[in-house]
Structure 1
Amino acid sequence: MPCFVGDSKPLLVRVPGTGLHMHVTLWLLTQGETRKTKRVRLFTEFLSRRLAAYAPLLAGLSPSSD
C-alpha cells in the first residue's frame, strides 16, 4: 500500500525499521509534435508543478502538519 494512503488511516502504522523503496518512474507521453503546442505545453507544466507539490507524499514521507 502506498504510504500516503496508509498514512491517512489513523489505525494503521508503519512497521518500525523498514526502509522506503522507490519502484516507480512517472512518464507523461504525448503524441508526436503535440508537445510543442501551447495547450499541451501548459498542461504538462501545470501537471509538473502539481506533482512536485505531492513529491514528499509520493516519496513515502509523512504529510506535514501545516
Structure 2
Amino acid sequence: MPQHNETEKLLSQRATIILLLGVLAATAATVLTVLAGGTLASGLLAGGGAFTAAVLLFNTIIS
C-alpha cells in the first residue's frame, strides 16, 4: 500500500477560526442565560442562535 506523506486538512485555518469563535459565542450566551435565571433549555436555544449569528458575522468580517 502506498503511503502518502501529505496530510490533507479537514478544515482550513479560516474555517477553524470562524467555527471556534462561533462556539465561544454560543458558550458565553448559554452560560449568561442560565446564570440570569433561565432554564438550561432556553440557554441552549440562546447559544444556538448566538452560534449562528457569530458564524455569519465572522464569516463576513474575516477574509
Q: Is the TM-score greater than 0.5? A: no
TM-score (normalizing by structure 2): 0.38
Question: Per chain length, whose mean CA-contact separation is higher, i.e. which structure has more relative contact order (CA < 8 Å, sep 6+)?
Answer: 1
TM-score (normalizing by structure 1): 0.36
Q: Which has the higher helix share?
A: 2
